[in-house]
Amino acid sequence: MFLGFAYGVIEEGLCVKSWFNPHWVDLGILGTYGRIWGVNTVWATWLTIFHGFMSVWVPIIVWRLLFPKLNGVPLLHGKEMVWPLTIFLFLALLIYLFLSGYKAPLIPYILTLLLALFLIYFSIRFRFKPHKSNPLSRHPFLWGLTYSPVIFYIYSFLPYTGIPFVMPIALGLPLAILFFYTQEGMDIQKIHLLLLGSLAFWLLFYDTAIEFMGYAFEMPLGIGMYLLLLGFYFHNYGSLIKG
C-alpha cells in the first residue's frame, strides 16, 4: 500500500506535476475544487489512491495469478535492482522535463518529495496487524465489487454536489487503507477473488461506458481481459467457492 501510494506521489506529484497544474487535461472540476495553496488536493488524493491500486497492486496480484509457481520468489536480488531503478529515475526525469512545462511551486513541491520518501520508508518498515475476525476478508469478491465503484463515485461524482472538498478526502483515503488492510488476513486465493471483484467495475462497466463515449475498442479489450483473468483463476483454483 505505502509503496503504491509513493508511486502515485512520484508520478503525479513530482513528474507529471498534475498535483499543482490547474490546467492539467484530466482535472475537470478538480482543477478548482479543493485547490489550496497551489495544490489540487482532491485530485492529489484520488490519483495517489488510484495509482496505489491500479499501477502497483493490480500488476503484482495479476502476476501472482499468471505465475503461481513464482509466488514469494524475488525476481531481482541486490545489485540487480540498480538498473531498473536507474531506468525508472531516468524516465521520471524525462517526464518532469518534457511532458509538462508547468513550474510547480517550490515549497509544496519539496513537501511532495518528502512525502514520497516518507511513504517509501514506511513501505519497508511498517506492517499491518490484522484482526482475523474482519468480516470483509470473508467475502473478498463482494468486497472488491463494492470497493471500486464506491471509490470511483467519491472522486468522480461527489465533487459535483458542492459538498466541502475535505469530504472526498476524508471518505476516500480511509476506504483505500481499509481495502489494503483487509488483505492481511487473506490467503492468495482470496486475494485473487478480491482482484476479480475490484476489476469487474473497471474492465466490465467502466470500459463499456467509455466505449459509448467514443473511445474505440475499450469494451472488447476490457471484457476480453476480464475473461482472460477469470480463466486463469479457474485454471488455478477450479471454482469461485471462497467468494
pLDDT the model gives residue 238: 82
Q: Final residue of a domain: which of 77, 94, 126?
A: 126
pLDDT the model gives residue 102: 86
82 and 177 share one domain: no
Residue 131 within any structural domain of the chain: no
Residue 133 within any structural domain of the chain: no
**Which 8-state DSSP code applies to residue 128?**
-
What is d(CA 131, CA 91) in angstroms, rounded to the nearest whole number? Answer: 40
pLDDT the model gives residue 137: 79
Residue 70's Cα: distance from chain center in Å? 23
110 and 152 share one domain: no
40 backbone dihedrals φ, ψ, rounded to 5°? -80, 85
Hey, how many other C-beta atoms are within 10 angstroms of the C-beta on 79? 7
Mean pLDDT, consecutive 10-residue stretches, the chain (243 aa), reads: 94 95 91 93 96 96 93 86 93 90 90 95 80 76 96 95 94 95 87 96 94 90 96 87 56
What is d(CA 168, CA 156) in angstroms, rounded to the nearest whole number? Answer: 10
Residue 159 within any structural domain of the chain: yes
pLDDT the model gives residue 57: 96
Question: b/e for 181-194, b at 16 or more Cβ within 10 A?
Answer: bbbebbeebbbbbb
160 and 228 share one domain: yes
5 and 120 share one domain: yes
What is the enclosing helix (H) or strand (E) of 35? strand 35-36
pTM of the entire predicted model: 0.90
42 and 88 share one domain: yes
Range of the domain at 202: 140-243
79 and 191 share one domain: no
pLDDT the model gives residue 145: 96
Cα distances from 166 to residues 6, 147, 176, 184, 231, in angstroms, run 21, 20, 16, 28, 41
Domain count, the chain: 2
Q: Final residue of a domain: which of 71, 97, 126?
A: 126
115 and 145 share one domain: no
4 and 120 share one domain: yes
